[in-house]
Every structure is written in C-alpha cells, then in structure tokens.
Structure 1
Amino acid sequence: MAQISGLIAAKECANPFDYCNIVTSTTHKSLRGPRGGIIFYRKGAKRKGGKLQSQGDDNEQYDFEEKINFAVFPSLQGGPHNNHIAALAIALKQVATPEYKAYMQQVKRNAQALASALLRRKCRLITGGTDNHLILWDLRPFGLTGKIYEKVCEMCHITLNKIAICGDNGAITPGGVRIGTPAMTSRGCVESDFETIADIVLRAAHVASMIHGKLQKAS
C-alpha cells in the first residue's frame, strides 16, 4: 500500500484486503508512524471468491504465517527495537480514531484544492487532478526537469520529489514532480491555504525556469 495506506485505513480508498491474501505497507508516509514496514497475511480457513470454503475437517488452511515470519526473522532482519514497536502501536491506535479519518478527508480535500489552484494557473497535471493525497505536475512546459525544480525547491525549504511521467525516457531527469498534502495538513492547513501554496510552488517554477534559461545561454 505504501503511499495510500492512510487513505485505506480511513476508508477513503479502495481496500486491497478484499482481494489480496498478503498486503504490505510502509508505516510512515500517510500513516504518520515510524519509518518501517508491515506485512498483513490471511490466517485460518482459505477463502474462495471472497467467502470461506466448506467447513469440513479437511478444510484447507492458509500457510503464510510461518513462512513470512521466518522470512523476516531470522532470514532478513535482526532483533526489533522496542521503541520502534511502541511508536508503531501509537500510530496505529491513532489511525483507528474518528479524528484520523477526519484528517485524511481533509488531506484529500487539500490535494484537490491544490490541484484545482494549479489548473486555474494553467499548469499541466497528470490525469487532470487527483483522487488521493498526491498530485503529479508536468514541468516540461516550463522547460524544466523534475530534478532541477526539486533542487530549487530544496533551496527554498520546500519538500517535494522528482518523478517520471508519461513520455519520459528515464527516472534520472524526469519531467515531473510529485507533491503531497499530508504534512501541511498535519500543520493545520486547509483548502484556502493551498491557494497560497499553489502561488509559492508556481513562483518557484518560474524562478527555476529563469535560472535554467540563463545558465543554458551562458554555456
């Protein structure tokens, strides 16, 4: 799940548990827990078409538990850190609250507000908007790569990351960036604040484009 695990936990995104026997996720990102990973797997009687098979004595059982546990420890990982386990427990406890669901709903509204604000400013977004907490912004109309824009934003203390988009030839110098709304939502931002944020990131794009143009002429 990774990026969308918080949305799934808040029932704001399609649930992979309805279709998968094994589900993995990061425990940070939208879950807001400590950096790490988590593995879910089915136990008990096997399901067929989403329903339990016949409950006879010979009913077939899932056999993931021992295999996954052994793969994690001792095969790939050493002893766990108790502080990490405690932090994860707190994060998952928070995820189960109505306040967290309200938070994730605001994250989605903020992402849609940012997408709408950038579209009104004639920016090109992949898929024309967003249904989750991320937007993908195509910077090629500015004559920029995601790598250049990411560096300029880093110098302005803005965190986002380059990402390959359709039409790119590779991931080293891609034509897009990915912008998420969970962090600023955690800091209390709402839709109106993302109008201002749209102005800031667009100004950064114009500055990056100007600098890049001057450097190209100088070379």
Structure 2
Amino acid sequence: MTDTRHPALSAQDPEIAALIGAEEQLQADTLRMIASENYVSAAVLEATGTVLTNKYSEGYPGKRYYEGQQNIDPIETLAIDRAKALFGAAHANVQPYSGAPANLAIYLAFLQPGETVLGMSLPMGGHLTHGWGVSATGKWFRGVQYGVRKETGRIDMDEVRDLALAERPKLIFCGGTAVPRTIDFAAFAEIAHEVGAVLAADVAHIAGLIAAGVHPSPIPHADVVSTTTHKTLRGPRGAMLMAKEEHAKAVDRAVFPGLQGGPHNHTTAAIAVALKEAATEDFRAYAQQVVTNAKALGEELAARGFELVSGGTDNHLLLMDVTSKGIAGKPAAQALDRAGIVVNYNTVPFDPRKPFDPSGLRIGTPSLTSRGLRASEMATVAGWIDRVVEAARDQDEDTIAKVRSEVKALMDGFPAPGLPVA
C-alpha cells in the first residue's frame, strides 16, 4: 500500500518510507525533551525538501563560481538580511553546514595551528569544539578549559580571568551544551579585551531565546557569534556565523573556500523561513513560554527530590544529577525513552562516572512548548519523570508501560507543528 504522505518515496523505497513514517509517528506520540531538539513548522519543512537541493552555488551572492544563480542569490541574501535584522549583527554568513564546522571556521579565521584557545570544559557543560582534546580543535590547537564553581554550579568567572591572564589565549569561547544559567557576555568580553583575545560566543542552544529578547545578546560584546539554526531557533539543521564588520572577510574566507564548497541551498531557504518566523510576536511569546516552562518544570522536579545543577535554570534546559534516586543517568534515560519521554543522559559537573555512563540527565522544554504545553502541564511531566526513574531503579516495567500510555494520551491533545500525522 502506497503511503499517501510520501507517495514517490513509498513507491521507490518502501523500507526508507516506512522508517520515516515510523519516525513521524514516534515524534507525534512521545514527549520530546532533548534540549537540542524541536519541531520545525510545515513551511520550514517544505523549504528543506525542495529542488534547491539540485543546485550548486560555490561562492557568495554576486560572486559565484557557477552560473544559474538567478534565484539562489536572492534566497541567500534574504537569509543574510533577516539574520542581521533579527540579531542586530553587522555581518552574517548562513553557509556553515552545522555548528561544529561553524566553530571550526572561527579557528581558521583567527588562529594559527598550535595557538591557545580557552573554552568551557566538556564535562562542565562546554562543547567538543571549544578546544576539547578528542576534537580536532583540541588536537590542532592548545586547549585550556574553565569550569563551574562546585558550590553553585555556575561559571567561575574568577577562574576564567585567572586562566586567561596565565595562558594568554588567542581565542576565548563562551557558551556550551549544558549551561542552564544566563551567560554574562559582557564579563567575558572584558576578560578577552584585557588579554587581547578574540571572543567567540557559541549560542547554538539559546539563539531563539536571544532573538526573542528573553536572554541577553552577545552581539554587542563578541567579535564573532556562532549558532546552529535548529534548537530554540526552530529552523533546519544548519548554522550561521555573525561577526563585527571588521571580521567579515576573514569569517567568509574561512567558511568558503577555507572549509566548504557549495552551500546547501535548500537549507539556506529553510533558514530564511525560520528567521522570518522568529521575527514575529508569536515566536517571542513561544520563547518566553520555553523559559517559563523550564523554570516551572525545575521547581516541580526539585520538589520531588531531584538535584538540579545550579539549583534551577534561566533558559530552556535543566541538568540534573539522579544519583540520589539510586540510579545512574544512562539507565534512567533509557527507561524514560521506553515511557515515551525522550531525554539524554549527560555528565554533571565533577561527575565521578564515565561520560558514556554518567550521573545526570539533560532535559529541555523547546519541543514540548512548540506543541503548546504550558506551565500547568509541568507538574504532570515532572510526576512522570519521577515515577519512571523510580520504576527503573526498582525494575518495574509495568509502571513504565503505564506512563507510556499516559504520555501518548496527552500528546494526542497537543498536535505537533509540521508533522503530517493526525
């Protein structure tokens, strides 16, 4: 039987069509709480799957190495202009394929191999590309890491300054993948200026919150800003770089021809659509609700005995240590997945366990907020998490299965945007 949602694909490759259909159903039926995931709109989804994927466009608008750019140049120009307007940036590059290549372009633009970069330690909440040893950025450059205060779980700005003065990095990264508190971009800029370093702000997780004005912006403070275009920004899987005007040429040269060939034009178009959506009042209300939901969820989880890193959140994510519940992060995440609550296990600061079997869970509210859930539903969500974590500890699969049916019942009442599933 042909799938009416994907008729050509179903006829040509029924195996892939069936798996995509199963994923559509899974995204509809589950409570998706991975902090880096979201639902894109139907418009963004349509733009991503267009004939723009057929076209090569090496270079930049007006300066291409291929002909036939009559439609491509205006699309990329729209994306650039919308990014600059939304974030108040002097320059924007929308061609990076994803967040890691975007960050690598920053190194190519500003550093020579072997020079020093100061970034947040991966186990403390940083990102691989901020100079961590297993990353190319830690192998080709000298990485030095800062962390958080043990007693507060917040970035230790005194340590950042001391390390910067001692190590004299050429580049300082701020931002990360598991930072539940507001990032003080001005304080980082002051330290970078003091030691003569380039300041790069990686706002991949919080770009949507910045665009909506519910998190401070790094644009006035950082030399260059990198971000993915999905996560809280609710766009396709892509990335952008924004920079001060004096760094525009260096950044553009680093992306192309430094690291990439032709941009993915279908992704560029979808980025443009997402940026237009992010400039609306509806999006601003959405972003505020993301934060409201995260705070409410944190309060409900703390009331049930979960240990939250830094005591809570200022943004879209919560990081919590489940050790006190008598279980590690990995089996807890796996049990939650069986219950239809999709999270990821994660290291917590000063974690005594190994990264592949850590003590914590990282959870976020962007996806559930996109479905329309509000703070009033967070008690229910926290209750499910508590029941499942305890059930996993006690090997109680009946409770996990019961929660799974309850999750589906709630999700049926909050249809996901963009999904071709009733």
Answer whether TM exceeds 0.5 for this pair: yes
Distance 1:120 1:109 in 2: 17
Task: Map 1:88-167 to 2 at 5 A.
Answer: 88-167=271-350
For residues 94-137 of structure 1, the C-alpha deviation after alignment (integer angstroms, 9 at most, x for no partner) is 11111111111111111111111111212211111111111112
Question: How high is the TM-score relative to the length of structure 2?
Answer: 0.44
Distance 1:159 1:174 in 2: 17
Distance 2:227 2:212 in 1: 15
The offset of 1:75, in angstroms, is 2.4
Distance 1:5 1:125 in 2: 23
Paired residue type of 2:316: H
1:40 maps to which residue? 242
1:215 maps to which residue? none
For residues 43-94 of structure 1, the C-alpha deviation after alignment (integer angstroms, 9 at most, x for no partner) is 1xxxxxxxxxxxxxxxxxx1x2222212212221221222111110010111
For residues 170-197 of structure 1, the C-alpha deviation after alignment (integer angstroms, 9 at most, x for no partner) is 4222111111001001001011111111
Matched, 1:208 2:410: no
Distance 1:65 1:116 in 2: 43
Matched, 1:8 2:191: no
1:217 maps to which residue? none
Paired residue type of 2:291: K
For residues 185-210 of structure 1, the C-alpha deviation after alignment (integer angstroms, 9 at most, x for no partner) is 10010111111111111111011111
Secondary structure of residue in 2 paired with 1:93: helix
Q: Which runs of 5+ in 2 are unaligned?
A: 1-202, 397-422
Paired residue type of 2:278: V
- More deviation in 69-78 or 107-116? 69-78
Matched, 1:82 2:265: yes
Distance 1:122 1:202 in 2: 9
Matched, 1:182 2:384: no
2:233 maps to which residue? 31
Distance 1:184 1:84 in 2: 24
- More deviation in 9-18 or 23-32? 9-18
Secondary structure of residue in 2 paired with 1:34: coil
Q: Which runs of 5+ in 1 are unaligned?
A: 44-61, 213-219
Distance 2:217 2:359 in 1: 31
Distance 2:228 2:318 in 1: 20
The structure, 1 or 2, with the larger RCO (C-alpha pairs under 8 Å, 6+ apart) is 2
Matched, 1:22 2:224: yes
Distance 1:85 1:133 in 2: 25
Preserved CA contact (<8 Å) 2:306 2:325: no
Paired residue type of 1:207: A
Question: Identity across aligned pairs (percent)?
Answer: 42
Question: How high is the TM-score relative to the length of structure 1?
Answer: 0.84
The offset of 1:166, in angstroms, is 2.3
The offset of 1:211, in angstroms, is 2.5
How many residue pairs match? The answer is 193
Distance 1:90 1:130 in 2: 29
Secondary structure of residue in 1 paired with 2:205: helix
Paired residue type of 2:327: L
For residues 128-160 of structure 1, the C-alpha deviation after alignment (integer angstroms, 9 at most, x for no partner) is 111111111210012222111111122222211
Paired residue type of 1:137: M
Paired residue type of 1:138: D
- More deviation in 66-75 or 182-191? 66-75
